[in-house]
Amino acid sequence: MSGIVVVYHSGYGHTRKVAEYLARGAKAELIAIDDNGDLPESAWDKLAEAKTIVFGAPTYMGNASWQFKKFADATSKIWFMRGWQNKLFAGFTNSASPAGDKGLTLAWLQTLAGQHGGIWISLGMLPSNTKAAKNTDLNALGGSTGLLVQSPSDASVDEIPQGGLDTATAFGTRIAEITEQFT
């Protein structure tokens, strides 16, 4: 494995699919936060051993899901002991609307990483923002801090715009390359 772990919560399966595409690009291990906001006990050891932790959460009502927030709160003992100090971090979020206040969620994920003393990996690609741009383009939503993906509210998991999934894979590749530079 790459030393990269993607820890995420997915309420309806869309964020899980984005996590899978990102993990494919990063050759990362996936850890799902369950519907109660909990992780398997062994997951904490994997997070402790990881070189890079990628946070993933859907954006609900302007921030991460409560399940992800419960996980974040559960990291307070790690924070106090500086257990994730100087790890690399990255993040992504998904919501139904093109904007959907995803930027707030991403900023919160970045803040969580900063509180842990982490080093944040940005998306690192230009936005697709010309008149000719389509939702099949890389970075069609114009993120820079991290990955932003839209899954329309009436879309099945198989109908996530391909540009978002391709951006997830490209971001995973970037995360792996940066992780390699730091090890």
In the predicted structure, residue 1 carries a pLDDT above the cut 80 = no
- What is the C-alpha R_g of the chain? 15
Per residue in 20-72, pLDDT (tens digit) is 999 999 999 999 999 999 999 999 999 999 999 999 999 999 999 999 999 99
Per residue in 123-180, pLDDT (tens digit) is 999 999 999 999 899 999 999 999 999 999 999 999 999 999 999 999 999 999 999 9
Q: What is the pLDDT of residue 100?
A: 87
In the predicted structure, residue 2 carries a pLDDT above the cut 90 = no
User: What CA–CA distance (Å, rounded) separates 100 from 104?
Assistant: 9
Q: At what angle do helices 14-26 and 162-181 cross, to 10 degrees?
A: 40
Q: What is the pLDDT of residue 183?
A: 79
* Residue owning tokens 């932003």: 148
51: CB partners within 8 A, 6+ apart: 2, 3, 4, 87, 88, 179, 182, 183
Q: What is the pLDDT of residue 114?
A: 98
User: What CA–CA distance (Å, rounded) separates 118 from 53?
Assistant: 9
Q: Tell me the whole-structure pTM to 2 decimals.
A: 0.96
